[in-house]
């Protein structure tokens, strides 16, 4: 089956107004876009037509989406941070509706915690440690200065992401235990951009036109090392939450961290999902691989963003 037009899906995570004070904050906010840049992008999109998506199972999720030349364009946000509410307000300001989709980490709705990948980044990059060298999996890593923290973060995070859920939790907890007491709570207060949406905020966003779909229950990653039972729970429990608490029909899924495997695709099919979004860079051309839908990360540089609107991925 071929789309009536080629489709571009943009994936955002968050929006912020924070002036960075050091290199570790730049790293911490690498997936977030400045509010000023988002406004510039929406000014560009405002000149495009917005059409209703009335076809059940269409690749676009929002009830409305954009058209430009021969591309349809949809906007997605991953994870479900509280700052997505601010994004909805900005979209509503421009369009009178917030035509985007949030892929939600359902077990963290209303939580005082954040996604474990964010907590790991906050801890390594910003926490006050009891020691100058932290222990991880029998090795020691320096955290005495910003450059050392960046190097340590880059070394550790990929290794943790490759672990199954049980080992991942053990090692994340081990790193937390090497900080001063209460550090994670302090950091989540200091960086509210990483706090999660609650149910009231989600329902207000729904009234503005935002749609919500599953992104896993605990944001465990779907790779070959992951226990298939964990993958099944992540998919089934997130779907049940969406249907029971948000009254959303679950048709599409976004893989946590963008990773997927054959087991994940099989479980999604068993649970009547029409497709799934990855973080693979590209433009969707056909529905032949609709469980591996690519997306683009929107550039905060307006000139490059305009190139992306024309399907340029370089």
Helices (H), the chain: 23-28, 35-45, 83-95, 116-126, 146-161, 165-176, 183-190, 199-207, 228-245, 262-270, 302-309
The pLDDT, as a whole number, for residue 125 is 98
Say if residue 74 is in the same domain as residue 219: yes
Statement to judge: residues 135 and 86 lie in one domain? no
Confidence of residue 55 (pLDDT cuts 50, 70, 90): very low
**Domain co-membership, 24 together with 144:** no
Single out the residue in 190, 207, 236 at which a domain terminates.
190
Residue 58 has pLDDT above 50, yes or no: no
Q: Residues 205, 89: contact at Cβ < 8 Å?
A: no
Residues 160 and 176 in one domain: yes
Q: Residue 61 in contact with residue 251, Cβ under 8 Å?
A: yes
For the stretch 264-308, pLDDT in tens is 999 999 999 999 999 999 988 765 688 999 999 999 999 999 999
In terms of domains, do 7 and 92 share one? Answer: yes
**Integer Cα distance of 230 and 258 in angstroms:** 16
Q: What is the model's pTM? A: 0.91
**Ordered DSSP codes for 245-297:** HS-----EEE-GGG---HHHHHHHHHTT--EEEEEEES-EEESTTTTSEEEBP
Specify whether the CB–CB gap between 72 and 8 falls below 8 A. yes
Alpha-carbon distance 282 to 4, whole Å? 17
Q: Nearest-5° angle of CA 66, CA 71, CA 74?
A: 40
Shared domain for 247 and 147, answered yes or no, is: no
Six-digit token pair at 252? 């599409």
Last residue of a domain, one of 167, 190, 213: 190
Instruction: Say yes or no: 222 and 297 in one domain.
Output: yes
* pLDDT score at 217: 98
Give the residue from 56, 64, 58, 73 showing the smallest Cα distance to 6.
73
In this model, does residue 213 exceed pLDDT 80?
yes
| Averaged pLDDT score across all residues of the chain | 90
Contact 240, 216 (CB under 8 A): no
Domain boundary (190, 209, 232) is at 190
3-state secondary structure of 85: helix
**Domain range for 27:** 2-111+198-309
67-108: pLDDT as tens digits: 555 677 889 999 999 999 999 999 999 988 898 999 999 999
Note the pLDDT of residue 188: 97
Q: How many domains does the chain have?
A: 2
pLDDT at 51 over 60: no
27 compared with 70, residue with greater pLDDT = 27
Cα dihedral 260/266/271/274 (nearest 10): 70
**Res 68: pLDDT:** 58
Residue 314 lies in a domain: no
Q: Is residue 261 domain-resident?
A: yes
Cα 220 from chain centroid (whole Å): 13
pLDDT digit string (tens) for 151-183?
999 999 999 999 999 999 999 999 999 999 999
- Between CA 284 and CA 274 the distance in angstroms is 15
In a domain, 162, yes or no: yes
Q: Dihedral (C-alpha) 255, 256, 259, 263: value to the nearest 10 degrees? A: -60
């Amino acid at each position: 089956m071929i789309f009536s037009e080629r489709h571009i899906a943009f994936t955002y995570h968050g929006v912020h107004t924070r002036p960075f004070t050091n290199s570790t904050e730049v790293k911490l906010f690498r997936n977030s876009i400045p509010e000023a840049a988002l406004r510039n992008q929406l000014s560009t999109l405002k000149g495009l037509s917005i059409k209703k998506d009335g076809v059940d199972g269409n690749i676009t999720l929002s009830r409305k989406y954009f058209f430009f030349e021969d591309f349809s364009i949809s906007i997605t946000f991953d994870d479900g941070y509280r700052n997505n509410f601010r994004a909805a307000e900005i979209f509503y300001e421009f369009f009178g509706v917030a035509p985007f989709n949030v892929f939600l980490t359902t077990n963290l709705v209303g939580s005082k915690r954040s996604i474990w990948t964010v907590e790991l980044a906050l801890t390594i990059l910003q926490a006050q440690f009891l020691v100058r060298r932290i222990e991880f999996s029998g090795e020691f890593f320096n955290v005495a200065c910003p450059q050392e923290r960046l190097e340590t973060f880059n070394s550790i995070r990929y290794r943790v992401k490759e672990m199954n859920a049980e080992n991942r939790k053990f090692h994340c907890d081990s790193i937390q235990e090497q900080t001063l007491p209460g550090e994670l709570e302090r950091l989540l207060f200091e960086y509210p951009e990483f706090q999660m949406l609650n149910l009231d905020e989600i329902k207000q966003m729904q009234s503005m036109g935002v749609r919500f779909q599953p992104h896993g229950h605990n944001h465990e990653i779907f790779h070959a090392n992951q226990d298939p039972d964990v993958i099944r729970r992540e998919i089934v429990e997130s779907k049940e939450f969406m249907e029971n608490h948000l009254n959303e029909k679950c048709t599409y899924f976004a893989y946590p961290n963008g990773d997927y495997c054959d087991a994940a695709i099989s479980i999604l099919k068993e649970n009547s999902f029409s497709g799934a979004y990855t973080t693979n860079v590209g433009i969707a051309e056909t529905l032949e691989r609709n469980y591996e839908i690519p997306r683009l990360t929107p550039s905060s540089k307006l000139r490059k963003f305009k190139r992306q609107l024309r399907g340029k991925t370089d």
